[in-house]
Amino acid sequence: MHKLSKILLLMVFTTAVNATSEEQMIEESKQSIKQFSQQLKNKLQQAMKVGGPVEAIHVCQAVAEQISNKVSEQFGWKIARTSLKVRNIKNTADAWEKKVLQDFQRRTKKGEAVEQLEFSVIIDASNSQPVFRYMKAIPTQGICLSCHGEQLSTDVAEKIHQQYPDDQATGFKPGDIRGAFTITRNIK
């Protein structure tokens, strides 16, 4: 075979391998997020039914953390939630996440559905090992409004304010981007 075509073939092959593994990582990310969000929503719905939003506050808090730890452990990478307007400062977006969230906002203004918004990248830091990062937008649904909506009941507002004096996560309307799931994964 001609030397050049050999090189070209090798290049195509390498790209194909990279493309598949990134695709695979995106697919796996989606699945872990699906698990996380379904478990969270079930727990939230149960708690709301039993004790109303005041009692359910701990679900979006402790249970979210538990599920996130469990899912992170199960898949071997970090999965968390973030937003441009956070309730818990521990969930504050880093510089990359902030940019992606801002881009999600622009994309919805251009007509993309919040449910479809995702973004991924492989960061190839020269000295360390490459890292795969993935984000998927979280839409605001009806069930979220009693704690993240425009008007909270006095008891919910009080309890939230007690625990999160710097809360920014209210004023959302159905269909708004509430935030995003964010995955960070070292590539072996």
Binding positions for ligand HEC, rule: CB under 6 A? 41, 44, 53, 56-57, 60-61, 64, 81, 83, 86-88, 91, 138, 140-141, 143-144, 146-148, 169, 178-179
Shortest Å distance, C-beta 116 to ligand HEC: 16
CB nearer ligand HEC, residue 87 or residue 133: 87
Shortest Å distance, C-beta 62 to ligand HEC: 8
DSSP 3-state of 180: strand
Q: How far apart are CA 91 and CA 50, in angstroms?
A: 27
Shortest Å distance, C-beta 44 to ligand HEC: 6
Q: How far apart are CA 170 and CA 159, in angstroms?
A: 14
Q: Which of 18, 19, 60, 65 has its CA nearest to residue 43?
A: 60
CB nearer ligand HEC, residue 22 or residue 149: 149
DSSP 3-state of 88: coil
CB nearer ligand HEC, residue 85 or residue 122: 85
Q: Which helix (H) or strand (E) holds 2?
A: none
